[in-house]
A and B are shown apart, each in its own frame.
Chain A
């Protein structure tokens, strides 16, 4: 196992890389530019070649302790400094600190008369001197093709360029050579023939009136690299490439659950709400309550004390807050506390990449735990194709997942036709939990209903709930499921009333029965009491009779005794024994 991995690793390590320091670029290039070798950056005018090269130098000087030389063929040092100041680079300061040296090489045609053999040793000497004087590790030649404009002997020029690139390699400097995009070739003068280690192509396209910058690594000898076209942008913080598609799905997964802000919705999601770091899509037709659902989530997050970012593509923050107040959600205190941050921008304002980059930046700045994108469908208006929107969102979601941020996106479904289980921007596959809001038209009413279309990794309710926007926020109620299907609104209410009446009726019947039973029990008990009384009376009578009988028997015995006494019978034992014991003896003797 290790034996296999060993040589592979060393093969990888063979190609040393120099981090460009440009956001995202090093990720695509798996570490950076090939160290000690020239890299060709080509593209048409205004595509950002110079800025990219300059950032490479500035970042090298400031972040990596590698001084650099910028050999400028097109702009003077002052012009360059001015141009990059807008990116936040203090070129003049770096020049003063001897971290960067700018050598402006001015070549003008017409001034030069060629009178025979020559070479470009002057350029080599200048470059060598510049490298030595600051101890440069990085070199930029921008744009060396200008030489072709000033000098006419192409044979000499080509030979010298070949020598120059070899010389740069020998010097061991990591270089960026910029070249103008040519017809049918990467560069107008086929510089790619000489710089063959690494070629980066920059592009600035205007699609639907929105300009989009892209870059692609055409070639990277001896190294793996991302092969896609990556959007990039240039803003006040410099160059940034958005390499998110190159990211593999290795983000950490959380088991933590967070409330949706709506109790009954939590209940629908296994009683606990969304997963932390998951992607939630709320799709629905216009006015179905998507933003309100989002606001609940935001409110819940802020209550937990979590930073929240609300990206609004449609409404101004003030308007959102006003609207949410009408359903009893006051987001303003959260905004004042700084827990909730709004970013509102019309989708049409910039290209997709710019939106993406702004979100990236905001995420980096505010480090939110929860982010709301409302609505993502508006990005369709950002002048990009559907596929691009999908790609961009996928990248964004992946990026946010990497940071463990829970994303709630709303998506407007055009409604009427087609299945609702389809988003206008095709992102269903990257969504973890999908809530579908829909209008149900029934009995001349339009009512809101909601259900969980999917929710990965949890047992969730499959029931449709009716969805109300009340003064106390969103409330979910059970819908009536009858033979005619789902009933909502008044239909549900009337059905409920009918049911209630039936229940009442049944309840009343039951009560009557209970009363009847009670009555019968009372009657029974009365009879029991009567019977007992009767019994008691009878038993009393019986006792009386027994006593009578007994006294009668006594009387008759006494009578008999008296009779016996009167008859001198020896039957009257008591009397005889007491009165005349002797005669008894006599009697026995008499018998014997």
Chain B
């Protein structure tokens, strides 16, 4: 965990219209239960919706505090969708999958829970 821990998962995409590779960056602060949960939730979502065409970069701000300003990180954990454009930002441990999908623009916002 000295530098950014990067996990790459390459799988063939089949159920999404966009064929490009997703670049996701997860900001955490230390190996807290919350960051572990967030990473696990993120991975699950990616495997379900972006299998084979996504990369997750985990940045631990405890190790690299100077990186917090660049992506305007305030809340932890924060997930940034770097690619595809436009940039999207999701905070929280991604426990709420529906909201996470909306945030990542993998699903149009559901009006049911309003």
Contacts and interface: CB of A to CB of B under 8 A. Distances in A.
Interaction A to B: yes
Interface of A: 103, 105-107, 111-123, 125-126, 128-129, 147, 150-151
**Interface residues of A: mostly helix, strand, loop or mixed?**
mixed
B92 A117 contact: yes
A113 B102 contact: yes
A151 to B, nearest CB: 7
Contacts of B72: 105-107
Interface string B71-102: 01111111000000000111111111101101
9 contacts: A105-B72, A112-B75, A112-B91, A116-B99, A117-B95, A126-B68, A129-B68, A129-B69, A147-B74
Contact of A116 (B27, B74, B96): B96
Contacts of B74: 105, 107, 120, 122-123, 126, 147, 150-151
Given A106-B72, A129-B68, 6 more contacts: A111-B89, A113-B102, A113-B103, A116-B38, A116-B95, A122-B68
B67 to A, nearest CB: 9
B62 interface: yes
B29 interface: yes
Nearest to A129: B65
A523 to B, nearest CB: 125
A348 B51 CA distance: 73
Nearest to A156: B75
Nearest to B79: A115
B66 interface: yes
Nearest to A73: B74
Contact of B90 (A106, A113, A117, A120): A113
A113 B99 contact: yes
A115 B34 contact: no
Contacts of A115: 90-97, 99-100, 103
A-B pairs, 10 with minimum CB distance = A113-B103, A116-B95, A116-B92, A129-B65, A122-B73, A115-B92, A121-B76, A116-B93, A121-B29, A115-B100
Contact of B92 (A106, A114, A121, A129): A114
Interface of B: 27, 29, 34, 37-38, 41, 61-62, 65-66, 68-69, 72-78, 88-97, 99-100, 102-103
B68 A125 contact: yes
A128 B65 contact: yes
**Interface residues of B: mostly helix, strand, loop or mixed?**
mixed
A103 B69 contact: yes
A125 B28 CA distance: 11
Nearest to A157: B75
Contact of B76 (A112, A113, A118, A150): A118
A557 to B, nearest CB: 165
A96 to B, nearest CB: 18
A121 B93 contact: no
Contacts of A123: 74-75
Contact of A122 (B37, B75, B102): B75
A119 B38 CA distance: 13
B73 to A, nearest CB: 4
B70 to A, nearest CB: 10
Contacts of A107: 72, 74
Contacts of A105: 72, 74
Nearest to A160: B75
A399 to B, nearest CB: 45
Contacts of A128: 65
A123 B91 CA distance: 13
A106 B103 CA distance: 18
A519 to B, nearest CB: 120
Nearest to B42: A115
Given A125-B62, A151-B75, A118 B93 contact: yes
Which of A106, A120, A122, A128 has most B Cβ within 10 Å? A122
B62 A114 contact: no
A270 to B, nearest CB: 72
